[in-house]
Amino acid sequence: MYRALLPLASLLLAAAPAASADDPYLWLEEIEGPKALAQVKEWNGQTEAVLTAMPGYEQYRARALAILDDEQQIALPEDVQGDQVTNLWRDAKNPRGLWRVSPLAAYRAGKPEWRTLIDVDALGRQEGKSWVWHGADCRAPDYRRCLVSLSPGGTDADVVREFDPVTARFIDSGFTLPQAKSNVAWADADTLLVATDYGPDSLTTSGYPRVVKLWKRGTPLADAVTLMTGEKADVSVSPFSVMDGDTRWSFVVRGKSFWTRDMYLLAAGRLVKLPVPDDADYQGVIGGRMVALLNSPLAAAGRTFPAGALVAWPLADMAAGKAPAPELVMAPTERQAIEEVAASDNVLWVKALDDVSGQLFALRRGAGGGWTSARIPLARNNSVHLVETSGKSDLAFVTVEGMLTPPSLYAVTPSSPPELVQSLPARFDASKFSVEQRFATSADGTRIPYFLVRKKGVTGPVPALIHSYGGFKAAQTPTYLTGQPYRAGPLALFWVEEGNAYVLANLRGGGEYGPRWHEAAVKEHHQRVFDDLQAVAEDLVRTGVSAKGKIAISGRSNGGVTVGAAVNQRPDLYGAVISGSPLGDMKRYSHLLAGASWIDEYGDPDKPDEWAYLSKYSPYQNIRPGVKYPPVFFYNSTKDDRVHPGHARKMAARLKEYGNPVYYHEYMEGGHSVGADHAEDAKRAALLIEFLNRVLPGR
């Protein structure tokens, strides 16, 4: 689920509404209420008592931690800053991380020369805070000042402090923002664009800031000049700045809804509204042109640009108040989706999916107009991730990996073969396993892709674990088994090693095939997500991979809606459920934390016509007495200030009330990402594999 901006203090102090006849568990919404926390600790204790006593638990946990903490990991570039590159390094000695810097040339050669800038663990001990790294925005082009964001315990809310990377010290008199879900950007060396909690009436209903100000160095924040105030009903108003060669462009985005926004350019001290479609997604700036991804067809200049295409507009003309015609940059094929875009000085780098397989393209604009595209030769049938770019050298850092192929990092230029920077050693013997892409047929005839991993020689039916998401345009691409599913450590590896089947499903609602794949499952069409998951499960049964009742399903965040609704609709088909940081109560979701920002995805439960379709699948409301549900494992975090922990708590309570087996584990830290460090992720992996071993038929 996407990040939302609501002050942490208001989350922790807000009292839950009184219980009602139709919802006796409202008291579990009081995040840190004594009664609610006592219940959570009781459930945690029950789960740990059972699962940590399983004979293989400690072996799983220790092995998971060894894999996650292995120092043979790729030091991914967090940011390329001129001739330097930064990285956040986490291992057993540094669970919260070392933020460090190396000369770019040494890094590219695979022999980085690291200098530590911030030891996050040591800083936390020194300041008595459980700091979790949230990144740094270093001011180009000299990179002499950085805005460092640190979160207490992993919440989305963080503090922002100005930092000098040369002396590796925070600046006592520098820019500082107190804990909130702020968005800040450099306007120039002594000016910030700041969206934060300015006090009463400065937040939207969704909990995001709605006020952006210009803050001059050496002045109090209270004296900052207001640039824009959005509407209360907006999702957010936020600034950002990008470098285009030596030119800094600063923008303010007014998010009118989750999927629509107005974009403004800061020009000569004033905001100029840009004439671009409000549902287009900004992707970058190159050569004075702003590039955006279309989510619906655009008729302009006597032609129609298709949904899913990249188009560009000249910024100078728009800054002058003109409405120039867009130009086509790249249009995907029917099987493709443009997923990631990044610019260097002269090259627009585009990562696309082709039937969910990653491809990388380098695009250039000709002197007289028109764009040319060259495909970069990378290993086929793998996931490709565009990590970072370097400006003047037109360099891109790209990772390539598959379920059985460990990640490799490449340095890529448009005119030479990719250079291997670092490749991870194999964590397991891939020759023992097979991976294949298959397609199921959903209820309406749509072809649904999924990836299947099994041990060679194993004949079905065997227990299967399906992981899925199905929302927010987020494509689910296959990655190395030591990190599958997300935030569950090497659960998938443990699972297939023991002869079971692991499946990654590409349900509608995601971005696997571009805007159409997402739009097909929005609002009143969301039932298609559950139909797609059911189709994949039934395809496993039909092809003899698994059997009805031997299939576990897994999802987190929006994926919690997916598995919650799916098991309500077909409790006979599934044998176990893993639900992480889930949404569950779709009647109240829009009133809990960041929930109001997702109305464009699901619908508004306060509108009778929209509750009519939400009510048909809302996981919490559709738990029925007298139905035998398979065992469910809920995991989440008390400090999750994005998806309210009350969703998981209330679903657990309702299932227990009706006599169903529930395993529950709530971390006190970690935020929406759940785990604050590798130790927590390793423990979760061990708990989940032992849960599956204990409850799934055939184990």
Active site residue 644: no
Active site residue 357: no
List of residues 6+ apart from 320 with CB closer than 8 A: none
3-state secondary structure of 481: helix
439 DSSP β-pair partners: 449
List of residues 6+ apart from 450 with CB closer than 8 A: 437, 438, 439, 440, 466, 503, 504, 505, 506, 536, 539
For 340, phi then psi, to 5°, come to -135, 140
Are the C-beta atoms of residues 161 and 176 closer than 8 Å to each other?
A: yes
Instruction: Quickly list DSSP for 328-345.
Output: EEE---TTEEEEEEEE-S
Q: Which of 182, 238, 554, 557 is catalytic?
A: 557
Quote the CA–CA distance of 678 and 61 in Å, as a whole number. Answer: 11
- Residue 444 neighbours by CB distance under 10 Å: 12
DSSP letter (8 states) at residue 258: S
Quote the CA–CA distance of 284 and 315 in Å, as a whole number. Answer: 11
CA–chain centroid gap for 594, Å, is: 15
Q: What single-letter amino acid sits at 357?
A: S
> For helices 527-542 and 608-617, what crossing angle results, to 10°?
20
Angle at CA 511, nearest 5°, toward 510 and 515? 110
Q: Which of 385, 518, 672, 678 is catalytic?
A: 672
Residues 376-385 as b or e (16 or more Cβ within 10 Å = b): bebeeebbbb
Radius of gyration of the chain (CA): 25
The closest alpha carbon to 47, from 578, 413, 411, belongs to 578
**Alpha helix ranges (H) inside 85-201:** 104-108, 120-127
Catalytic positions: 557, 672
